[in-house]
């Protein structure tokens, strides 16, 4: 007999997995990331998304086969995104066949008892929009709202959980400041203009969705890193930590939830009205320990330097920390806005699956403890279901519960897939499950 009690989840807790159109569908040739990945030197392994996980092709039916696997695993929900470049391949053209395929996919989920959560923008832009300036175009907000309206009118009967934009600050920062994604710019001004436009687009799209589908749940998905000074008492570390948190986290939260848009260098942006969001989506991939460093202007002079005792990811993300307590802090911060929270992404790249079981268990334990302390967390979406194409990391960082060979499209469930199935069946983290899958974590999980 063990002395530990199970950590139980609420009875209607939504256990899920998250995916994104470009990373899964395959042959998304009409967007700016496809163009980018075909430029020399942009993707670390020189790979292209190609067929990705081959979810688009209806005849081969690989999405449907994965949904069978999701059903067998007990998944209650699946997050996927609609590809703007498919449903609106040209400014004045909409593609009903693409809508039909999305309807098939959403229906296939419903038939398996899996509730879809649909994201409208997950990093990629139609080529025509990119040519018009992308998120710097003066009319981008209107264009996004038109697209959102169209999708919701066509798919609204099959979806009642909408994420407008995935990780706007990550998109703005990586595309317009680090220059690592299309259009490859390195400009603070552009970064904040894009952030301001995305905040406005979110608020306006949420309003449009509610007009058409008043009962729908609508939210923004925000990557929430927790920022801490590397040297807690060092004034310069504290100063730059504050800058990073304000500019990466707080400004857009203020814009969206309070109607105060104060992005530096983006004076043109009008203040959006405070949004009427139904939920907050948190993506969590670890904390940042910030050390003042004059050589790092692009991070506002704050270098992410993990403390010596920190547990780290493997290469190529060896500078990322593993810290489930940070997830609990992120939930606490966001739950204070008084809206339900979904963990819309959390995951680890771990091809051998030696570390993922403990990762999954400790992060889910953090979620459970946040709920027990009063946070209204409705669901958790593991990133991701089947290994998919990871942007500039190409195929080098497999996150899946199920391994994929992109050449043969063969799927092999990892041990973590069985763990997730058992957790869902128990609706709890039980001592038996921990003993079976990650015995080394038993004290960490139950004595936290």
Q: What is the C-alpha to C-alpha distance for residues 206 and 368, in angstroms, rounded to an integer?
A: 29
Which is nearer to ligand FCB, 20 or 195 (by Cβ)? 20
Distant-in-sequence, close-in-space partners of 61: CB < 8 Å, separation ≥ 6: none
Task: Provide, rounded to whole angstroms, the least separation between the CB of residue 22 and ligand FCB.
Answer: 8
- What are phi and psi for residue 157, nearest 5 degrees? -70, -15
77: β partners? 16, 115
Q: What is the C-alpha to C-alpha distance for residues 323 and 327, in angstroms, rounded to an integer?
A: 7
Task: Provide, rounded to whole angstroms, the least separation between the CB of residue 223 and ligand FCB.
Answer: 6
| Cis peptide, bond prior to residue 183, ω within 30 of zero | yes
Which is nearer to ligand FCB, 63 or 170 (by Cβ)? 170
Neighbouring C-beta atoms of residue 333, cutoff 10 Å: 16
Which is nearer to ligand FCB, 315 or 372 (by Cβ)? 315
Task: Provide, rounded to whole angstroms, the least separation between the CB of residue 201 and ligand FCB.
Answer: 17
Which is nearer to ligand FCB, 20 or 220 (by Cβ)? 20
Which is nearer to ligand FCB, 80 or 266 (by Cβ)? 80
Q: What is the C-alpha to C-alpha distance for residues 35 and 178, in angstroms, rounded to an integer?
A: 18
Asked whether the CA dihedral 204, 210, 216, 217 is positive or negative, the reply is: positive
Which is nearer to ligand FCB, 19 or 213 (by Cβ)? 19
Which is nearer to ligand FCB, 385 or 446 (by Cβ)? 385
Task: Provide, rounded to whole angstroms, the least separation between the CB of residue 383 and ligand FCB.
Answer: 5
Task: Pull the structure tokens for residue 448.
Answer: 């936290």
Check if the beta carbon of residue 98 is closer than 8 Å to that of residue 161.
no
Which is nearer to ligand FCB, 48 or 448 (by Cβ)? 48
Task: Provide, rounded to whole angstroms, the least separation between the CB of residue 159 and ligand FCB.
Answer: 19
Task: Provide, rounded to whole angstroms, the least separation between the CB of residue 390 and ligand FCB.
Answer: 6
DSSP 248-300: IIIHHHHHHHHS----TT-TTPPPPPPP--SEEEEEE---EEEEE-TT-GGGT
Task: Provide, rounded to whole angstroms, the least separation between the CB of residue 19 and ligand FCB.
Answer: 8
Task: Provide, rounded to whole angstroms, the least separation between the CB of residue 171 and ligand FCB.
Answer: 9
Which is nearer to ligand FCB, 213 or 249 (by Cβ)? 249
Task: Provide, rounded to whole angstroms, the least separation between the CB of residue 145 and ligand FCB.
Answer: 22
Task: Provide, rounded to whole angstroms, the least separation between the CB of residue 285 and ligand FCB.
Answer: 6
Check if the beta carbon of residue 434 is closer than 8 Å to that of residue 25.
no
Task: Pull the structure tokens for residue 122.
Answer: 């997950």
Q: Which of 173, 151, 47 is nearest to 101 (CA)?
A: 151
292: β partners? 302
Contact positions vs ligand FCB (CB under 6 A): 20, 23, 166-167, 170, 223, 283, 345, 383, 390-391, 399
Check if the beta carbon of residue 289 is closer than 8 Å to that of residue 282.
no
Task: Pull the structure tokens for residue 410.
Answer: 């063969």
Q: What is the C-alpha to C-alpha distance for residues 428 and 214, in angstroms, rounded to an integer?
A: 33
Which is nearer to ligand FCB, 164 or 213 (by Cβ)? 164
């Amino acid at each position: 007999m063990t002395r530990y009690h199970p950590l139980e989840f609420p009875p209607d807790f939504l256990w899920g997995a998250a995916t994104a159109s470009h990373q899964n569908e395959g042959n998304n040739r009409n967007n700016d990331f496809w163009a980018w990945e075909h430029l020399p030197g942009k993707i670390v392994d020189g790979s292209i998304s190609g067929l990705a996980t081959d979810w688009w092709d209806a005849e081969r039916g690989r999405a449907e086969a994965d949904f069978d696997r999701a059903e067998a695993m007990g998944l209650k929900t699946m997050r996927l995104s609609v590809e703007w470049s498919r449903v609106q391949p040209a400014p004045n053209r909409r593609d009903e066949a693409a809508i039909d395929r999305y309807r098939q996919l959403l229906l296939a989920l419903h038939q398996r008892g899996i509730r879809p959560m649909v994201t409208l923008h997950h990093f990629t832009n139609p080529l025509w929009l990119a040519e018009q300036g992308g998120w710097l175009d003066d009319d981008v907000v209107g264009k996004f709202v038109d697209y959102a309206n169209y999708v919701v009118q066509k798919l609204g009967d099959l979806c009642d959980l909408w994420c407008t934009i995935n990780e706007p600050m990550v998109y703005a920062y990586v595309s317009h400041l680090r220059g690592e994604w299309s259009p490859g710019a390195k400009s603070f001004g552009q970064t904040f203009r894009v952030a301001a436009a995305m905040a406005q687009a979110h608020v306006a799209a949420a309003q449009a969705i509610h007009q058409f589908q008043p009962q729908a749940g609508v939210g923004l998905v925000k990557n929430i890193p927790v920022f801490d000074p590397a040297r807690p008492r060092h004034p310069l570390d504290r100063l730059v930590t504050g800058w990073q948190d304000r500019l990466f986290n707080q400004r857009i939260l203020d814009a969206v939830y309070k109607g105060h848009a104060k992005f530096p260098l983006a004076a043109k942006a009008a203040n959006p009205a405070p949004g009427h969001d139904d939920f907050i989506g948190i993506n969590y991939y670890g904390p940042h320990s910030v050390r003042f460093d004059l050589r790092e202007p692009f991070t506002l002079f704050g270098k992410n330097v993990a403390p010596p005792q920190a547990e780290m990811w493997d290469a190529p993300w060896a500078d990322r920390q593993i810290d489930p307590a940070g997830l609990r802090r992120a939930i606490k911060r966001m739950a204070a806005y008084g809206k339900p929270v979904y963990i819309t992404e959390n995951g680890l790249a771990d091809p051998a699956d030696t570390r993922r079981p403990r990762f999954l268990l400790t992060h889910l334990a953090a979620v459970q403890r946040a709920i027990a302390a009063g946070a209204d967390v409705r669901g958790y979406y593991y990133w991701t279901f089947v290994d998919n194409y990871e942007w500039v990391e190409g195929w080098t960082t497999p996150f899946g519960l199920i391994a994929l060979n992109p050449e043969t499209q063969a799927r092999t469930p990892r041990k973590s897939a069985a763990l997730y199935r058992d957790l869902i069946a128990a609706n709890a983290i039980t001592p038996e499950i921990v003993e079976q899958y990650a015995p080394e974590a038993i004290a960490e999980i139950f004595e936290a």
